[in-house]
Chains A and B, each alone.
Chain A
Amino acid sequence: MDKAKPFPLLADYATAGFFDEMFGRDGNVCPHYHKLRDAFTYLDHDEFQTRRRSVDLAFLRQGVTFNVYGDSRGAERVFPFDLVPRIIPASEWEVLERGLTQRITALNLFLHDIYHEQRILKDGTIPGHYVLSGKHFRREFVNFSVPKNIYIHVCGTDLIRDDKGNYLVLEDNGRCPSGVSYVLENRRAMKRTFRGMFENIGVRPVDHYPQELLKMLQFIAPAGIPDPTVVLLTPGAYNSAYFEHTYLARQMGIEIVEGRDLQVTDDRVYMRTTKGLKPVHVIYRRIDDDFLDPTVFRRDSMLGVPGLVRAYRAGNVSLANSIGTGIADDKVMYYFVPRIIKYYLDQEPILPNVPTYLANEEADLAYILDHLDQLVVKAANESGGYGMLMGPQASKAEIEEFRQKIIATPRNYIAQPLIRLSQHPTFVDDRFEGRHIDLRPFILSGEKTVIVPGGLTRVALRKGSFVVNSSQGGGSKDTWVLYGDS
């Protein structure tokens, strides 16, 4: 029998002028991908396809799925998973880790400041109106002190790489970022599918995330409670991230509760159990501020708990994340993060932002309106790839629609040049092709800052697409941070 040709999966692979994670700029396989390349040498597409199918089937059986909105039958989909892992060498991760730690530290100081003295506003480093007009600034919580002064306990910061390979921060998700369950499940699936590879390659583990999360939640418990009861508050089984909520609760060994399971009596929170009421001390809430407490925020909220905010104010229950962190997710605040880092830490940002224009600034507005066909325009308080204009790919009508919106409410818009995201070999049809990716590490702020190595690598599965969101045809990859650099 003829010896099979090596690398059948990589035949005709093209980097197409993008920064490719596996094939550096010189077109050769980067050192940190050597062992993976060796492991894939004789893997052909039939074999790969078989493994991929078995992983998909396992996800479906385990119910590792997300719910599709607007489908009353509760349709569930498997989040597409690509079996080619994304690899980050140790030295690169070390920089990311420092950069993310620096950023979350500054953001927590910033939130504390704007909810207390507002020094950064008073001395004009950030124009006060930007904060005070923020949709998610909770003026009710000015002068309220949160436990241990931590506002963002769990942060999912989106990182991208440009066509030179520079890491850039795309956005901070400081409310209730989801996706970490896929980090853990993707790793499990990879270990089942390519068991041998892990022994050779030296990949740092991720599966301690739930323990770290629990440790953080216990750390922020109200003072004087030796053995605090921690619960996870979910909007319920119809929420698209419900799988993640049960997954994390199970891994941490805590109760998963819905608003209707909780009640507040004398400013203390209790859960309704078969043996009566049981006190609750820390709530890892996966519900937005707006829905938390109908007596304070949205009155029509049935997901929340009447009186919860009073209990929180009284210091009888701790929340993660704190109320009011959404202001840090405001894309206008994002613009100011490099200044925020400089202001509180007196350091240069280790991880730069994408260049950003504020439609509310006159000079920027003129530039934005003149270059709409070249820019990406984003609504300040949307996420998940919604409320966005991709100028270079948009129709004239879409551009005009956004022009009117921007002129009407400039505070609500920012614009950025289109970043040509790095690409990664991805299994498409019967071979590997380059697809664009980003990275969402999950940062925990408790007694110290903990970042589980790697994070969720999202991949835009549509050829040429730069949009990685799950709602827009995105999938994910396992992310390997190596112990070394090769």
Chain B
Amino acid sequence: MLSRVANSLYWMARYLERAENVARILDVNLQLSLDFRSLDPVEVQNHWLPILDCTGDQDAFRAQHKHITAAAVTEFMVFDQQNPNSIVSSICQARENARTVRDQISVESWEQLNRLYLFAIAPAARHMWASSPSDFFNEVKSTSLLLIGLSETTHIHNEGWLFSQFGRFIERADKTSRILDVRTHTLPARGLPKTVNQTAALEWSAVLRSASAWDAFKTLYGADVHPRNVAGLLLFNEDFPRSIRVCVEQLNATLRRISGVAEGRYSNDAEKLAGRLTAELRFGTVEEVFAVGLHEYLDQLQAKLNTIGDAVFSIYISHAFNDSETAFVQQEEKQQQARIF
């Protein structure tokens, strides 16, 4: 498998997963803000600020917008093409990566991803968004899920596919951790909150919904929402597919399928780091997490995921990249032979 191709498949899946997660987060929180109907700018800001942090783009947002309002945040996170992590940008990048490796993905997948892209950049997307944001988010979410299904059922599960799986799982782990982080500012710096009032319960259930975990939560813990259990489910649950533990187990297993090295051993830094993080999540406890503080714990977790991503890049990919992209693109366009036709 060409390194460049592996890299493109990785980013294709990663950006698609990102678009889906951002769609879920915004969908849930827009609905939640309807419940509060607060016009107090400080409360509005407190509601939206942590959501901006989900994609880590607060600085870019502040450079463009003076006030944090629902309209400004959603515009920035949905349509703003200056923001590389907006839903539309993510879809464009997923599709651009797919386009460069079209021969590697099935016709079915390509057509669906291309359809999503054509939808996202057309005026129709804005019309749909204006009349019903939920319909818009559903379109993004359901196409992403359809593409996951197509990747499962129509692709050869070869090395390239494993790189796309790796991209998907590392993004999913990262996004679940950021979703879980959205309401940590309401918790004490260390330890568990003593009481959970109705507003807090609503907010924590929004966290669950943002991770499609509400039904799973009710099954496991009933309708009484406590941050302890929310963290327990999203961090450590061994059966819920969006829990960080399951995502990390999957990405660890994916790395081992790529190299053929068994669990318990490692042949490179990525496997060593992924194996260690898997063990931490398998044997960690919620009490330990809250003892260091949930926010602090999640920060460290995200840093570890980044280190794994960097290690994979340097082992499998980076030796293929050493030229200046801009000059390269200009030359491709200038190349005469393309005009013969």
A complexed with B: yes
Binding site for B on A (CB under 8 A): 60-63, 69-70, 74, 156, 173, 175-179, 235-243, 246-247, 249-250, 255-258, 260-261, 271-275, 286-288, 290-291, 300-303, 383-384, 386, 469-471
Query: What's the nearest-Cβ distance from chain A to residue B197, in Å?
Result: 49
CA A124 to CA B251, docked complex, whole Å: 71
- B102/A250 in contact, CB under 8 A: yes
- A471/B2 in contact, CB under 8 A: no
CA A384 to CA B340, docked complex, whole Å: 5
CA A43 to CA B22, docked complex, whole Å: 48
Q: Pick from B96, B332, B341: contact of A235, CB below 8 A.
A: B332
Q: A261-B3, A274-B3 are in contact. Are A178 and B331 (CB under 8 A)?
A: no
Query: What's the nearest-Cβ distance from chain A to residue B256, in Å?
Result: 14
Judged by a CB distance under 8 angstroms, whether B202 is at the interface is no
Contact digits for B13-53, partner A, Cβ 8 Å, 1 yes 0 no = 00000000000000000000000000000000000000000
Chain A-chain B contacts (Cβ-Cβ < 8 Å), number: 127
- B333/A272 in contact, CB under 8 A: no
CA A257 to CA B107, docked complex, whole Å: 20
- B107/A62 in contact, CB under 8 A: yes
Query: What chain B residues lie within 8 Å of A272 (beta carbons)?
Result: 2-4, 319-320
- A62/B103 in contact, CB under 8 A: no
- A62/B111 in contact, CB under 8 A: yes
Query: What's the nearest-Cβ distance from chain A to residue B267, in Å?
Result: 12
Query: What chain A residues lie within 8 Å of B115 (beta carbons)?
Result: 61
Query: What chain A residues lie within 8 Å of B221 (beta carbons)?
Result: none
CA A301 to CA B14, docked complex, whole Å: 32
Query: What chain B residues lie within 8 Å of A247 (beta carbons)?
Result: 102-103
Q: A250-B103, A272-B2 are in contact. Are A61 and B114 (CB under 8 A)?
A: yes
Q: A241-B341, A302-B331 are in contact. Are A255 and B2 (CB under 8 A)?
A: yes
Chain B residue nearest to A469 in the complex (CB): B341
Q: A62-B114, A246-B103 are in contact. Are A175 and B323 (CB under 8 A)?
A: no
- B3/A273 in contact, CB under 8 A: yes
Q: Pick from B1, B5, B96: contact of A74, CB below 8 A.
A: B96
Q: A237-B100, A274-B3, A274-B258 are in contact. Are A63 and B338 (CB under 8 A)?
A: no
Query: What chain B residues lie within 8 Å of A177 (beta carbons)?
Result: 340-341
Contact digits for B313-341, partner A, Cβ 8 Å, 1 yes 0 no = 00011011111100111011101111111
- A257/B2 in contact, CB under 8 A: yes
Q: Pick from B107, B328, B335, B339: contact of A471, CB below 8 A.
A: B339
- B337/A287 in contact, CB under 8 A: yes
Query: What's the nearest-Cβ distance from chain A to residue B298, in Å?
Result: 31
Binding site for A on B (CB under 8 A): 1-6, 96, 99-103, 107, 110-111, 114-115, 118, 159, 163, 258, 316-317, 319-324, 327-329, 331-333, 335-341
CA A156 to CA B163, docked complex, whole Å: 38
CA A210 to CA B76, docked complex, whole Å: 45
17 A-B pairs, CB-CB below 8 angstroms?
A61-B111, A61-B118, A63-B99, A70-B333, A178-B340, A178-B341, A237-B332, A260-B328, A261-B2, A272-B3, A272-B319, A286-B337, A291-B335, A301-B331, A302-B328, A303-B332, A384-B339
- A274/B332 in contact, CB under 8 A: no
CA A177 to CA B338, docked complex, whole Å: 8
- B338/A241 in contact, CB under 8 A: yes
The 8 closest A-B pairs by CB, nearest first: A250-B103, A384-B339, A178-B341, A246-B102, A240-B338, A237-B100, A238-B332, A274-B316
Q: A287-B335, A303-B332 are in contact. Are A63 and B114 (CB under 8 A)?
A: yes
CA A175 to CA B339, docked complex, whole Å: 12
Chain B residue nearest to A256 in the complex (CB): B103
Chain A residue nearest to B95 in the complex (CB): A63
Query: What chain A residues lie within 8 Å of B5 (beta carbons)?
Result: 255
- B340/A274 in contact, CB under 8 A: no
CA A302 to CA B111, docked complex, whole Å: 31
CA A412 to CA B3, docked complex, whole Å: 44
Query: What chain B residues lie within 8 Å of A303 (beta carbons)?
Result: 328, 331-332, 335
Chain A residue nearest to B103 in the complex (CB): A250
CA A156 to CA B337, docked complex, whole Å: 13
- A288/B335 in contact, CB under 8 A: yes
Query: What chain A residues lie within 8 Å of B102 (beta carbons)?
Result: 63, 243, 246-247, 250
Query: What's the nearest-Cβ distance from chain A to residue B266, in Å?
Result: 17
